[in-house]
Amino acid sequence: MDRKQLCIANVQYKKPTQNESKRANGLLRYLTYREGRDEAARQKAGRERWTDHGLGGTVTEIARSCEALKSQHVLLFSLVYNVNPDLMAMVPPAQREQFVRELTEQTTETFFEARGIDTGVEWAYVVHHRLTDNPQSPGQHNPHTHVVLPGTFFNDDLGDRAPLYFTQNKSVNHIGLLHDLTEQQVADQMERYVGPDWDARCDVLFANREQQKRVVSDTPDSWLDDIDMPLWYGVRQTDERTSAAGYYTLEKDEVVFRPLFAGLNHEEAELLARLMRLDADHGLESFKRTAATVEQMTKPERAAFFNELRGINLDIQTPSRTQDWDIDR
């Protein structure tokens, strides 16, 4: 797997101006009370939202610390550690928060050590649990962390505080260093949490998805109404255990997938894809209604529905997975 796909580590900052200070307070409130743009925080009684490493554990404390420790140009820095959801799907659900906490703490401390800031930097972070809104695979668990840092650090050589910088140029590239350390930390943790074969398992997942895209080499199954856009019904593997059935389109010469039926096992997804290709003249809207009906079915009703599909001659092949990894061995 391309190491650049393991994790996103973004850095932004707020200036010490009146307007930016208001935005910084808004950011801190957002990080405290939200999981994402559309979801409130799932706080638990007796549990602090923030993990304090010297900067504070509440909006008020962190804002006060950032104001006291600002530099001439920076009020606060904000970092995001966001592991690829395809990787997080391989980590047992009960261990995912621990995974992102370990990633955040180990990478942040190692980053400052690598920069020679051995006195440390005050910081705090919060864990968010959101679901992805990626149109191709919406609803994947996407735990990630937001880190807040002040604009200065204590420089032991000076015996005073000095501005904290995230330089990115040919001679000094702190952002590149942060990315490299993050990627290495994710790889190390994946080996411990998932196993030494995690990388090969990812390659199988991505190879299967590429194989499934080849459905677009066939004649289109139908066309979007009033739009000169062809559709191919097929499947896309979501993770090692589940797949989705839906349709492929070409958008700006890129093959993209839009799920209609999600959270299925691989066989169920393929049965539905074959059914849609067989009944392609029914139209996309008809399949959307069918998807809504299946979504509302009880477990016994779903089992009966797929048993009925197994009894139908769906002798239409769709590009499938090249192989499966025995994840239970």
Domain match, 190 and 97 both: yes
What's residue 46's pLDDT? 39
Band (pLDDT 50/70/90 cuts) for residue 316 is low
Sign of CA dihedral 283, 289, 292, 296: negative
* pLDDT level of residue 223 (50, 70, 90 thresholds): confident
At residue 119, φ and ψ (nearest 5 deg) are -85, -10
Percent of the chain scoring above 90 in pLDDT: 73
pLDDT at 312: 81
* Domain containing residue 304: 214-310
| Average pLDDT, integer, range 4-9 | 78
| Confidence (pLDDT) at 287 | 93
Co-location of 159 and 295 in the same domain: no
Instruction: Identify the pLDDT of residue 74.
Output: 96
**pLDDT band for position 9 (50/70/90)?**
confident
203 is a domain residue: no
107 and 175, same domain (yes or no)? yes
Asked if residue 234 is part of any domain, the answer here is: yes
Q: Are residues 242 and 183 in the same domain?
A: no
pLDDT digit string, tens, across residues 254-271 = 999 999 999 999 999 999
Angle value at C-alpha 196, between 328 and 240, nearest 5 degrees: 40
Residues 149 and 250 grouped into a single domain: no
**240 shares a domain with 143:** no
**Letter for the amino acid at 157?**
D
Residue 290 reports pLDDT greater than 70: yes
Please state the rounded mean pLDDT for residues 296-320.
82
Residues 147, 251: one domain?
A: no
Question: How many Å apart are CA 186 and CA 193, to the nearest integer?
Answer: 10
Report the distance separating Cα 116 and Cα 157, nearest Å: 11
Q: Say whether both 179 and 219 belong to one domain.
A: no
Joined tokens for residue 295: 């979504």
CATH number of the domain bearing residue 56: 3.30.930.30
Predicted TM-score of the model (pTM): 0.88
- The DSSP call for residue 78 is E
Q: How far is CA 165 from CA 179, 257, 289, in A?
A: 16, 41, 54
* 260: in domain: yes
> Tokens 């850095």 — which residue?
11
- Candidates 181, 193, 205; CA nearest to 143 is 193
Share of the chain above pLDDT 70, in %: 89
Is the pLDDT score of 149 beyond 70? yes
Mean pLDDT of the region 117-122: 83
CB of 103 closer than 8 Å to CB of 189: yes
In this structure, the answer to whether residues 148 and 34 fall within a common structural domain is yes
Number of structural domains found in the chain: 2
Q: Which pLDDT value is given to residue 230?
A: 92
How much is the pLDDT for 157? 84
Terminal Cα-to-Cα distance of the chain (whole angstroms): 22
The counts of H helices and E strands in the chain are: 9, 13
Pair 160, 77 in one domain: yes
Q: Is residue 316 part of a domain?
A: no
Distance CA 25, CA 42 (A): 20
pLDDT digits (tens, 9 = 90+) for 168-183: 887 889 999 999 999 9
Measured in degrees and rounded to the nearest 5, phi and psi for residue 250 equal: -110, 120
CB of 181 within 8 A of CB of 6?
no
The whole-chain average pLDDT of the chain stands at: 89
Half-sphere exposure of 236 (CA within 13 A, CB side): 22
- Order of strands across the sheet that contains 254-264: 222-223, 230-237, 243-251, 254-264
Q: What is the pLDDT of residue 1?
A: 65
Answer whether residue 327 is part of any domain. no
CA nearest 92: which of 241, 205, 200?
A: 241
pLDDT, mean of residues 11-19: 93
Q: Given a cut of 60, is residue 311 above it in pLDDT?
A: yes
CA gap 195, 204 in Å, rounded: 15
